[in-house]
Amino acid sequence: MHGDAVQRLEDFFTQLEVEKRASPHTVKSYRRDIAHLKRYCASKAIADWRDVQAADIRAHIASRHRQGVGSKSLQRELSAIRSFYHYLMQNKHTDSNPAQHVKAPKQARKLPKTLDVDQVKGLLEAGTSSVLEIRDLAMFELFYSSGLRLSELSALDMADLDLAGQSLKVRSGKGGKDRLLPIGSKAVAAINNWLPHRSAQAKASDTALFISSRGSRLGQRNIELRLTQWCQKKGVAEAVHPHMLRHSFASHLLEASQDLRGVQELLGHSNISTTQIYTHLDFQHLADIYDKAHPRAKKKPQ
């Protein structure tokens, strides 16, 4: 970069600090982000900011991505570059903003961790040795049986259950929508084991299905802690959090039914694209079967 180009960059940082009153942290981030672009320009012998084209910005961002820089960081870098070019345009130093329509690579969606069927079976058939464990087993069976969110399980009231009809109503789930869900026979049995103990502990005014030893509704954090303690006591090596039971419910149901729309309804997803992440898990399952069974896919003996 020639002297004028370097000066315009420093003028931009001065404007950020003095006129825009940006925080020192923001200015430092902008300096770091635009320094990457400056190094790219030097590698391509680009001496003036007005000579940078959209193709250069794309190539620069692609190079950063190949270096392992994440999507969010690249979005931030592009934001800094756009701001700089907006300043240059305002001050008649360039006619266009080459970063205006450049997008960062999409962040890969992390596949939710799930348990396989045998792991869930081991978790739920470990046996109970106290009233609290009877309650806990009912909670975990219901989690896996009906694919509930943690917040939905905590919010369940006695009035939401129809054990004879093996169903429950989730009231005002995510997005404010109610939905009716089936309850599996093992979850019904576990809840029926818990209800006499609940009656002995509950306060008259408490409507919650799952209550603490003090008779009040069991909160989300306590449910998480109880699952952690359950796993530790039952010798489950893997760290299991409540939503792993929901994810396992979705994955196992999709593997067996291939009914994506049905699983979407059960999970309470407003957009099927949210449910489609489980098709990736299903593909992994199929790929494993393929690798083990296909005569042309089996690995050669070492």
Q: What is the DSSP letter of 219?
A: P
Active-site annotation holder among 64, 135, 198, 246: 246
Q: Is 21 known to be catalytic?
A: no
Q: Is 269 known to be catalytic?
A: yes
> Is residue 183 within 8 Å of 167, Cβ to Cβ?
yes
Containing 161, the helix (H) or strand (E) segment is strand 161-162
Active-site annotation holder among 149, 198, 217, 252: 149
Containing 180, the helix (H) or strand (E) segment is strand 179-182
102 Cβ partners below 8 Å, 6+ apart?
Answer: 54, 57, 58, 61, 78
4 Cβ partners below 8 Å, 6+ apart?
Answer: 48
Q: What is the DSSP letter of 241?
A: -
Q: Is 241 known to be catalytic?
A: no
Active-site annotation holder among 28, 103, 174, 203: 174
Task: Please name every residue paired with 217 in a beta bridge, in sequence order, or none if there are none.
Answer: 211
| Amino acid in position 109 | R
164 Cβ partners below 8 Å, 6+ apart?
Answer: none
Q: Is 174 known to be catalytic?
A: yes
- List the structure tokens of 162: 């129809």
Q: Is 261 known to be catalytic?
A: no
Report, as residue numbers or ranges, the catalytic residues.
149, 174, 243, 246, 269, 278
